[in-house]
Structure 1
Amino acid sequence: MTQAPAIHVRGTHEVDGVRQFGPLDVRMPAGKWTCILGRSGVGKSTLLRLIAGLTTAGEFDGHITTSDAGTLEGRVTVMAQSDLLLPWLSVLENTVLGARLRGEDPDMKKAQGLLDRVGLSGHLDKRPNALSGGMRQRTALARTLMEDRPIALLDEPFSALDASTRADMQELAAEVLAAKTVLLVTHDPAEAVRLGHQITVLTPDAAQTWPTLHIPPIRDQYAPATVGCQAGLLAHLREMR
């Protein structure tokens, strides 16, 4: 798999002639986690979908480039807000869906290992309608982590989880996606401070880089410096309303 590139997004996005965001300039460093926050409706998920090359409502006037001048096609894995599990497939079958769609033989041992780590080893044969919301989200996370791509785009991947499980899944994702270029859309300042090498606050007019701690992720969520950074970021987000 190719080395993870940096990503640069410049431009404006409009819906029905009304600007949603921009002109903005966002740079995502290679092999690092960039966490995007901002009020609802500002275009965080739209930005993610644009990078992924997925269809969005509206029109983007700008450019998305990589540090190696390569195409993004085939180098990106995406975890959407909705789990997008196929209802007729089991947990295990949903987890290896990417390989099946590409006509490849899936690595079942790897899939079972990931499902064990997300706490679903006892539910491999269950269909999505037999799972809780948190179990469905963990299945979708396992499916995303199965894809060995240099770029991972995650849209609120831990939102349906309780606090303890969320912390465990954050640590698993950080481990598996180490050295990948990761964009994490989140509404949680604590999550951004814990995981982000870079934190970007999106507004309709700009993308503001928020200062992060010198301590590398994953950070101790109870450390005074982490708590202080979280508090400052939360206060800033509240002032934006």
Structure 2
Amino acid sequence: MPILSIRNVSKLFGPNAAQGVKLLEQGQNKQQLAKEKQITVGVNRVNMDIEQGEIFVIMGLSGSGKSTLVRMFNRLIDPSAGQILVHDKDIMKMNAEQLRQVRRKTISMVFQKFALFPHRSVIDNVEYGLEVQKVEKSKRREKAKQSLELVGLKGWEDKMPDELSGGMQQRVGLARALANDPEVLLMDEAFSALDPLIRRDMQDELLDLQEKMKKTIIFITHDLDEALRIGDRIALMRDGEVVQIGSPEEILMQPANGYVERFVEDVDLSKVLTASHVMRRPETITPDRGPRVALELMRERGVSNLFVIDRGKRLLGAITAEDASRAVKDKLTIQDILIPECPVCPPDKLIGEMFEQSSTSPIPISVVDEENRLMGVVVRGSLLGAMAGGANNEGVNANAEQLDIG
């Protein structure tokens, strides 16, 4: 079951909003309602499920409705129509006390503006939400300290907000949200006010935190690079509607329509796609087979090298056709000609970081998991094909497989 489900949620502004909801259902569009009824459509019949533990990014240009949408998740803004289900319970049917508990225990929010109290110390800011909940002082102090340590601000507890940089102030805001130990973090343009370098650091910090916390994070941004970098899935909005939901790779390689295609056309794919996206099936052999068998396999499969694995599919190294031919002549074994130091990488390595490694090795790069099991190989042609764009990938990869370009 998703932690958060959005069902046909709309938000209209104007004196005739209720009438506008019916007109939307009858097929009228945003422009017609604005012109004929003076109704502004902020969010238009949005549906999405957000899963436990994922970073779900909602993005779009200014005016696309993303911030209005996220503020409905905890009813800072009430929807004009639709359901918002938290653990399958509709928050639109909750009374004031139930809603307060959702905001305190289930969903916390980190805003673009840090909203720190200038007269309170860092730790007093972080424990403020717990103070409002009347949590006993020693307990809230301990939770605040733990949150500050999580965001890398241990030792800064007694500083005042004006003694901190912008990035550090944003960390305080994040620590304040974490102190409540919420299930869901709403982050509305949380890093957009930061300088580019600090923003990049905060993105890294968030990804590191997520490794430890496994929270559900709903992140709002207008920055496509940021969305692609941190999102497990992305919802792209336009004029109050969701035009596509998918993984970063799906958004880039399988755009739903011309708008999405134009939106992503200038993205540097080398900073987004990973080894797992471009790897192909490896041609393998076990070390108990002879070099004559290896040569025959290479001939049948049209390749110039094989990857040597044990019975558990763990990578031992590679052999080349030239070395196998020499081994047949000199009566050597595969172990005798094994190249153990072949290039390897994890499946999540960005392809932009692989070009140098690929260009200096005659052997394709082996993609291995944490236990050194061989998952696939990346040939130079696959890297070039990925950079050329999704439409050309299949042809370039096929040529690379036939030629076995290292």
Same fold, judged at TM 0.5 (above)? yes
- Aligned-partner Cα distance in 2 for 1:111–1:42: 36
**8 A contact 2:58–2:221 mirrored in 1:** yes
The counterpart of 1:13, out of the listed 3, 11, 17, is: 11
- Aligned-partner Cα distance in 1 for 2:234–2:55: 8
1:159-174 matches, within 5 Å, as: 159=192, 160=194, 162-174=198-210
**8 A contact 1:156–1:185 mirrored in 2:** yes
Q: Which sits farther off after the overlay, 32-41 or 4-13? A: 4-13
The counterpart of 1:144, out of the listed 177, 184, 209, is: 177
**8 A contact 2:122–2:156 mirrored in 1:** yes
The counterpart of 1:64, out of the listed 84, 91, 109, is: 84
Residue identity matched to 1:129: D
- Backbone CA RMSD of aligned residues: 3.2
Give the Å deviation of 1:209.
1.0
1:62-211 matches, within 5 Å, as: 62-69=82-89, 71=91, 73=99, 74=102, 75-105=106-136, 106-159=139-192, 160=194, 162-178=198-214, 180-204=215-239, 206-207=241-242, 208-211=244-247
- Aligned-partner Cα distance in 2 for 1:114–1:38: 31
- Aligned-partner Cα distance in 2 for 1:194–1:23: 28
Give the Å deviation of 1:7.
2.1
- Aligned-partner Cα distance in 1 for 2:7–2:109: 17
Corresponding residue for residue 50 of structure 2: 28
Give the Å deviation of 1:99.
1.0
Give the Å deviation of 1:46.
1.0
Give the Å deviation of 1:163.
4.6
Q: Give the TM-score normalised by the residue count of structure 2.
A: 0.48
**Deviation digits for residues 135-190 of structure 1 (CA, Å, limit 9, x no counterpart):** 21111011112221222211122332615522432223313541x33211022323
Give the Å deviation of 1:117.
4.2
- Aligned-partner Cα distance in 1 for 2:89–2:162: 43
- Aligned-partner Cα distance in 2 for 1:221–1:204: 35
- Structure number having the greater helix percentage: 2
Give the Å deviation of 1:199.
0.7
- Aligned-partner Cα distance in 1 for 2:162–2:248: 40
- Aligned-partner Cα distance in 1 for 2:205–2:228: 15
The counterpart of 2:63, out of the listed 41, 45, 63, is: 41
- Aligned-partner Cα distance in 1 for 2:122–2:2: 29
**8 A contact 1:156–1:186 mirrored in 2:** yes
Give the Å deviation of 1:23.
2.4
For the pair shown, the structure with the greater C-alpha radius of gyration is 2
Residue identity matched to 2:207: E
Report the CA distance shift for 1:142/1:66 in structure 2 as closer, same or farther (over 3 A): closer
**8 A contact 2:131–2:140 mirrored in 1:** no
What is the SS of the residue equivalent to 2:171?
A: helix
Q: Give the TM-score normalised by the residue count of structure 1.
A: 0.77
What is the SS of the residue equivalent to 2:42?
A: strand
Corresponding residue for residue 368 of structure 2: none
Q: Which sits farther off after the overlay, 162-171 or 63-72? A: 63-72
**8 A contact 1:4–1:31 mirrored in 2:** no
- Aligned-partner Cα distance in 1 for 2:183–2:123: 23
Give the Å deviation of 1:78.
0.9
What is the SS of the residue equivalent to 1:121?
A: coil
- Aligned-partner Cα distance in 1 for 2:226–2:74: 22
**Deviation digits for residues 73-101 of structure 1 (CA, Å, limit 9, x no counterpart):** 32211111111111221101111111111
Give ranges in structure 1 of 5+ residues lacking alignment: 233-241
1:229-240 matches, within 5 Å, as: none
Report the CA distance shift for 1:61/1:137 in structure 2 as closer, same or farther (over 3 A): same
**8 A contact 1:145–1:173 mirrored in 2:** no
Residue identity matched to 1:128: P
Report the CA distance shift for 1:150/1:184 in structure 2 as closer, same or farther (over 3 A): same
Question: What is the identity percentage for the equivalent residue pairs of Structure 1 and Structure 2?
Answer: 29
Report the CA distance shift for 1:86/1:69 in structure 2 as closer, same or farther (over 3 A): same
Q: Which sits farther off after the overlay, 30-39 or 68-77? A: 68-77
Report the CA distance shift for 1:76/1:163 in structure 2 as closer, same or farther (over 3 A): closer
**8 A contact 1:4–1:181 mirrored in 2:** no
- Aligned-partner Cα distance in 2 for 1:11–1:117: 35
